[in-house]
Amino acid sequence: MPTHFHAIVWIDHAQAKVFHVGRTGDDEMVVHPHLPTRHLHHKAGSIGSGHAAPDKEFLTQIMNAVSDASEILIIGPAGAKAELAKSLREQHSKIGDRVVAVEPADHPSDREIVAYAKKHFKIAPRRVAAASGSANG
């Protein structure tokens, strides 16, 4: 059952960064594919797409990391973000139904990813309790 936090996943074919973002704070998990990234090159006129199939174990680890989020935002460069969203929607529809957006993002810093998630999910910054007493002493 989903909890109160949101998840943002920044993904490319080399890694995924999963952030749980909520009113009480954030945390991060980095997931790497089980299979090393391979670059496939084909000669002109040869048959084949030149694209390796997504690592199912990699996608499963990400799915497990976001399985209890109430809403999921997936961002990243190229096609890995779409592959993850498709996998979640087709293989794990209860989780896939919680994907609220799939958006392009180059290579933001961790801080930028969390800030983007908070803006997207409209999570207000935590307020620091005011010091007791008056400053006019």
Q: What are phi and psi of 100, to 5 degrees?
A: -95, -20
pLDDT at 96: 96
The pLDDT score that the predictor gives to residue 130 is 54
Q: What is the pLDDT of residue 136?
A: 52
What is d(CA 79, CA 76) in angstroms, rounded to the nearest whole number?
8
Query: pTM of the full predicted structure?
Result: 0.77
**Domains observed in the chain:** 6-35+52-120 (3.30.420.60)
Q: What is the pLDDT of residue 22?
A: 82
CA dist 109 and 63 (Å) reads 22
- State the pLDDT at residue 30: 84
pLDDT of residue 39: 42
Digitized pLDDT (tens) for each residue of the chain, 137 residues in all: 456 689 999 999 899 999 999 866 677 788 888 655 444 444 444 444 455 566 889 999 999 999 999 999 999 998 999 999 999 999 999 999 999 999 999 999 999 999 999 999 998 766 655 554 544 54
* Closest by Cα among 92, 106, 87, 97 to 11: 106
In this structure, how many other beta carbons lie within 10 angstroms of the beta carbon of residue 71?
Answer: 18
| Other Cβ atoms closer than 10 A to 94 | 10
Amino acid code (one letter) for 53: A
Containing 95, the helix (H) or strand (E) segment is helix 93-96
